[in-house]
Structure 1
Amino acid sequence: MNEKVGFWQDLLWRLEALAFDATVGLLRLFPVDTASDLGASLLKTLGPISPVQKVVLRNLDLAFPDKDVGWKARICRAQWDNLGRTFAEIAMMDRITIANGRIVVQNAERLEEIKLSGRPVVFISGHFANWEIMPSVINEAGVICQMTYRAANNPYVDARWRKARERYGTQLFAPKGGDGAKELLAGMARGESVALMNDQKFNRGVSTPFFSRPVDTAPGPARLALRFGTVLQPMTVERTDRARFRVTVCDPINVVDTGRKSEDIDATVCKVSNFIEDAVRARPEAWFWVHKRWPNDAYKSAAETPGHKN
């Protein structure tokens, strides 16, 4: 920790870290599928009675206005199942690998090509199924890649998250923010690829259509690809059964490059937004619906819609 904190704050952080250790330690006592089942059962019980339930349902209203209440209720319950599994599985990602058959990779030859080329690419994905699977697969394929992350407020817990990721091979981190951007640029200049999630709200981002509604989308991945003359390499993750997954290395997204930089970035970000939407439509139960992806006024409109009961 760089900043000095008070005794009580430090004590609280340490207690939270102990609780984190106890939870992870308990989960790691179980077989992977059993731990995944426990996580699913817990969030299917607690999620629907939490305040976040309202966010999930409003998101579904915004994305799928034509779907009936029963369909949305099923998707809502299924996404809690998936989210609970994901949280539990993160405690044992070193046991979910290609080598032990829990991950199957479609178009794996593309990763081999990237590794052998010596040229960086910008991997992109969204919070699909267990989103930690993507960096795990990239690492297991031998591609040198920087991973971004948002540091936990608790520095002791943050250190544990980093160590957990190191167990499945993730060694390079670029914290989100200005310093992280510099690290990504330096890494790509060395020939290292980067991996970014590009499906979350980004204030002052590029306005793109997402389920026919405007959202702010981060331009960072498109900027990096344009700057280094490379491609955006999308990947999707699907849960096939409990703690088993299929990862698809999709066709590369070529950056628009007409010489008009601002317009080119906007056009490329729209391509990314389309990729994310297509993946969500294909498996809506597996996306991270607990996040407020749309602008605040969209949620206000959803709440005021006649017949809305969230």
Structure 2
Amino acid sequence: MNLLAAIASFTKVVETGSIVGAAKNLGLSAAAVSQTLNRLEEHLGTRLLQRTTRSLALTESGAIYYAKVQRIVADLEAAQSAISEPHAELQGRLCIASTAAFGRHVLAPLVAGFAARHPRLTLELNTSDSKINHIQAGIDLSLRIKPQLEEGIIARKIVSVPFIVCAAPSYLERAGRPDSPEQLQQHACLGFRYPLDGRFLRWGFIRDSEHYYAALNVTAMSDDIDTLAQMAAHGAGIARLAEFVAAPFIESGQLVPLLESSHGPRESATEPLDIYVCVQDRSAMTPKVKAFIDYLSAHLEQRWPQANL
């Protein structure tokens, strides 16, 4: 028995919460992982996991053993990457998670270019606004907005994307054009309800270096930003959209940007959308993860040169 491989299988089962999840992460069959666990338990002379068809839990011995070996596995993977992968072609699986809109509009078009550079990599793009567990889902890195950030993960802001307040020409002909954030109270506004917890995301502005939220007259809401964009394009009201969502509608003339230069006594700027690149811990910064972050950073800098921080 390969003891290190067996320990790696055991730790992945614990971290993902299932034999199937560990098998997917390791690129093995569930049967192979199960057999490896059996051999490891025979080798140690104790049961590490209580397994049924519906549940899996650490035994007392298993909890003690996991606490001792989990750091060993991470250190060995980091050591191997440090001496081999920088000099070899990147390969294996790279799983990237992202908010739905950023994944759909920004990451998806870039994946093909990165895949062409690294043909031995298998890429998986998980786009969802739900809560993300890097370990359980086998995620290598994720792109998140501030409301998704959690304690315990390593997060670094990779770009600030402009928000654009906009509306269809048909709406503006009917209701007029607001000249300041304060006038939004007098208009039909389309609100985004954050899918994770149902919160309404307020519209932030910056004036004289001070941040504030505009009072809105919200007449319609959705938990999908592309749905809001379509509603705005058909004249339902004013929407606040990230630039990567709004740009095609503005280019086609379906939407018109608003509040680009306030005409009131003091000008206001729309607060940007900050995007963070996240990993579970420092051991997750493998060469393939670093390569993707570098690739992504370069493209974001080209698209939003003044916003990349």
Considering fraction of residues, name the structure with more helix.
1
Considering fraction of residues, name the structure with more strand.
2
Whichever of the two has the greater Rg, that structure is 2
* Higher RCO structure, 1 or 2 (CA under 8 Å, sep 6+): 1
TM-score, normalised on structure 2?
A: 0.19
